[in-house]
Homo-oligomer: A and B are copies of this chain.
Amino acid sequence: MTDSPTKPRREQIQDAASRLFSERGYHATSMRDLAGELGMQGGSLYAHISGKEDLLIEIVNGAAQQFDEALFSLRDLDLPADAKLREAMFRHITVVADNMESATVFFHEWKHLSPGAYRRVIGWRDTIDDFYRGLVEQGVREGTFRPDLDVKMTAYLILSAVNWSYTWYRPGGSLTPRDVAEGFAATLLSGLRTGGDRP
């Protein structure tokens, strides 16, 4: 939330790129569009960056890093699986909510990265998958989650809930990330049906 009036130019460029790439897509945004947003000429951008893909890499890596930081510290925390699920979903949705634009770019444009950066994203995605699979396994092991759960599919269900939020969540609306995470986690843990609400 540091929005000082003297934000470094490079950061201003990055912010504008996030906005334009998320609205129009990476390939549909020209360097001249981007420069225009900042009141400069197209060529002038290259005093600050070395190429268009730099901007995309920075956005995607930044998003990946935020998800990583949010979840990594949770991995070895000594919490029961249900509490850990709630907290993970809260953190995951918070990253999306606090970075709607770069999250959108992340989900839509990472396939357009060149091979090296592309592979890094795949690796990151697998790490996140593993995190949620480990969480489900923990719950089953502890006996709090149903033993018949398909671990991969259950992890995908959780990931669906937290990731898809980039399409509909509106920061500043009536729902906080906490509301969404608690609501989603409650349903995932206890189900839609009337009955066993408290563990």
**Contacts of A180 on B, CB cut-off 8 Å?**
153
Whole-angstrom distance between the alpha carbons of A27 and B111 in the complex? 13
Binary contact readout A105-146 vs B (1 if CB under 8 angstroms, 0 otherwise): 000110110000000000000000000000010010001111
Judge whether B146 and A194 touch: CB under 8 Å: yes
**Contacts of A85 on B, CB cut-off 8 Å?**
192
Whole-angstrom distance between the alpha carbons of A188 and B111 in the complex? 31
Contact of A147 among B25, B156, B194 (CB under 8 A): B194
Judge whether A159 and B164 touch: CB under 8 Å: yes
Q: If the complex has contacts A25-B27, A159-B164, are A154 and B195 also in contact, measured as CB distance less than 8 A?
A: no
A24 at the interface (CB under 8 A from B): yes
Chosen A-B contacts, 15 in total, with CB atoms closer than 8 Å, are: A24-B111, A25-B111, A27-B27, A82-B192, A145-B192, A147-B194, A150-B183, A156-B168, A159-B164, A160-B163, A187-B188, A188-B191, A191-B191, A191-B193, A195-B199
